[in-house]
Amino acid sequence: MKKSGAGRSRVLESGSGPRSGRAVSGRARSVEDMAGEYREGPHRTVLFVIHHAVFGGPHNQALRLAGPLRERGYETVVLVPDMAGDAPARLSAAGVSVERVRLHSLRARPDLIVQLRFALGFLPEVLSIRRVIKEQRIDLVQVGGLVNPHAALAARLAGVPVVWQLLDTRAPRPLAWAAMLWVRAIATVVMPTGRRILPAFPGWRRICRRIVPFIPPVDTSTFRPLSDLRSVVREEWGIPADVPVMGTVANLNPQKGISMLIEAFARVKQRLPIARLVIVGAEYEAHAAYARGLRGRLTALGLTEGVDVHFLGARRDVDRQLQGFDLFALASVPRSEGIPTVLLEAMSCGLPVVATDVGGVAEAVEHGSTGFVVPPLDVEALADAATSILTDPGLRADMGGAARQRALDRFTVERCADAHARAYDLAMAWKVPAASSRLTP
């Protein structure tokens, strides 16, 4: 272990919730009454377990929320696998305490060696996490992701409540069905990234009393429109300020649909020859063949890297890079996303969005107002929507303004922190998972 610094069911809303019905100290108290007592008590420590070490949405969530949650009575410790990745350094630099342990992830692919390593390491890794819980005096464990139950089991062994977050829709249906048996049995509170992803998780209605949705946090003061930076960023890219730019921020992997994005851009360029595509995102050895295939497809489509399509690699100044875009595009494939944080950040920067209808995307993007939501894998629909925005400055400005306002209204760090604090309060009040139940209006 290392340390470095909809039907009849409904989910819980802020300000409302179930009644416990349990007699405590001679009188019945609501869960909200008990939760309030935890909120007013001394600080408690949350262990947020994330099963990958490359900085991404869950790490950004932990980083953004650490301060606001401290103000609400909760300290944050993040646990990540002891493997290569930039997340530990970035979190530690921001003042977030980080623990590292050896940790394998359950994979959907039928690789016997991978599955065997997961099975053999499972119990020792559960015990390692339980040791962290004991040594750090953890009061609550937050699990990021569906198919890695290590931390939840460790929390149960240690007798602390579990907040289980459903962050994306990647798991195949059979695996999601099996994994939800764990979630329903162990989780004290379940936090999906929005409501629209819930149908991807079989049996969710059985635990609707314990569901507190959230939308990933955006620092709207950092991610904001800065028109003065547009020409500066464009100059750094070698792209004229008056050229329409379609951009995305995504690591180069198949789930992000980069190949479809390139295909759509080729169609956009036929209609708008001066357009450019900018891709901000890391390339990793695990997807090296995919990245090579993308570049090979550029040639086949008559596109030139560095002229028509610009790969900028991983960047920490995403807020700055977004200033050079005219349009943010998300081409993720089915069974991939929850609500991507970068989509919300782009909207907060005043960018109109064209995005595929996957996960909870349509919960964030208001179709026809802040951008367009198109069917996944539909290259023509993506190209048509992008062209309509890039060729209409008035529409682009209107949608960008609406996107910024929606971010201010719905995606702020404070709003997300409130949802998390409420989930933590309820988990601390309930302590152990209630029996499966339905909540009627």
195/27: higher pLDDT: 195
The CA distance from 367 to 364, in Å, is 9
Look up residue 257 and give its two tokens: 């649909």
Mean pLDDT along residues 420-437: 75
Mean pLDDT along residues 123-129: 94
The CA distance from 333 to 329, in Å, is 13
First to last CA, the chain: 47
pLDDT class of 4 with cuts at 50, 70, 90: low
Please state the domain extents for the chain. 2-214+413-430, 229-410
Q: β-strand 23-24 against 44-50: which pairing, if any?
A: unpaired
Q: Is the distance from CB of 400 to CB of 223 less than 8 angstroms?
A: no
Tens of pLDDT, residue by residue over 251-302, are 999 999 999 999 999 999 999 999 999 999 988 888 899 999 999 999 999 9
Which CATH superfamily groups domain 2-214+413-430?
A: Glycogen Phosphorylase B; (3.40.50.2000)
Following CA atoms 23, 29, 32, 36 in sequence, which dihedral angle do they give, to the nearest 10 degrees? -100
What pLDDT shows up at residue 107? 66
Following CA atoms 74, 32, 9, 212 in sequence, which dihedral angle do they give, to the nearest 10 degrees? -10
What pLDDT shows up at residue 20? 34
Tens of pLDDT, residue by residue over 332-347, are 999 999 999 999 999 9
The CA distance from 38 to 43, in Å, is 9
The CA distance from 80 to 56, in Å, is 12
229-410 architecture in CATH?
Answer: 3-Layer(aba) Sandwich (3.40)
Instruction: Output b/e per residue, 398-422; b: 16+ Cβ within 10 A.
Output: ebbebbbebbeeebbbebbbbbbbb
Q: Is the distance from CB of 406 to CB of 398 less than 8 angstroms?
A: no
Find the range with the poorest average confidence among 146-150, 176-180, 376-380: 146-150
Mean pLDDT along residues 145-159: 90
Helical packing angle, 258-271 and 379-390, nearest 10°: 50
Listed in order, strand segments (DSSP E) in 340-438 are 353-356, 371-374
What pLDDT shows up at residue 284? 82
The CA distance from 413 to 284, in Å, is 30
Find the range with the poorest average confidence among 172-176, 266-270, 413-417: 172-176
pLDDT exceeds cutoff 90 at 110: no
- Which of 368, 365, 24 shows the shortest CA–CA distance to 215? 365
The CA distance from 267 to 252, in Å, is 21
439/32: higher pLDDT: 32
What pLDDT shows up at residue 57? 84
Find the range with the poorest average confidence among 104-108, 368-372, 425-429: 104-108
Q: Is the distance from CB of 47 to CB of 80 less than 8 angstroms?
A: no
What pLDDT shows up at residue 266? 98
Q: Is the distance from CB of 322 to CB of 247 less than 8 angstroms?
A: yes
Listed in order, strand segments (DSSP E) in 20-159 are 23-24, 27-28, 44-50, 74-81, 97-101, 140-144
pLDDT exceeds cutoff 70 at 439: no
pLDDT exceeds cutoff 90 at 229: yes
The CA distance from 19 to 21, in Å, is 6
Residue 253 DSSP SS3: coil
**Bridge partners, 436 (sequence order):** none
- Do the domains 2-214+413-430 and 229-410 sit in the same CATH topology, yes or no? yes
pLDDT exceeds cutoff 90 at 21: no
Sequence letter at residue 48: F
pLDDT exceeds cutoff 80 at 160: yes
pLDDT exceeds cutoff 90 at 224: yes
Tens of pLDDT, residue by residue over 308-323, are 999 999 998 999 999 9
What pLDDT shows up at residue 172? 86
Tens of pLDDT, residue by residue over 32-66, are 555 555 555 568 999 999 988 888 888 999 999 99
Q: Is the distance from CB of 91 to CB of 98 less than 8 angstroms?
A: yes
What pLDDT shows up at residue 41? 56
Q: Is the distance from CB of 201 to CB of 360 less than 8 angstroms?
A: no
What pLDDT shows up at residue 85? 86
Look up residue 80 and give its two tokens: 């990540």
Phi, then psi, of 330 in degrees rounded to 5: -125, 120
Q: Is the distance from CB of 259 to CB of 297 less than 8 angstroms?
A: yes
pLDDT exceeds cutoff 90 at 365: yes
7/32: higher pLDDT: 32
Using alpha carbons only, give the angle 29, 31, 34 rounded to the nearest 5 degrees.
75
What pLDDT shows up at residue 17? 39
Mean pLDDT (the chain, rounded) = 88
The CA distance from 395 to 368, in Å, is 10
pLDDT exceeds cutoff 50 at 361: yes
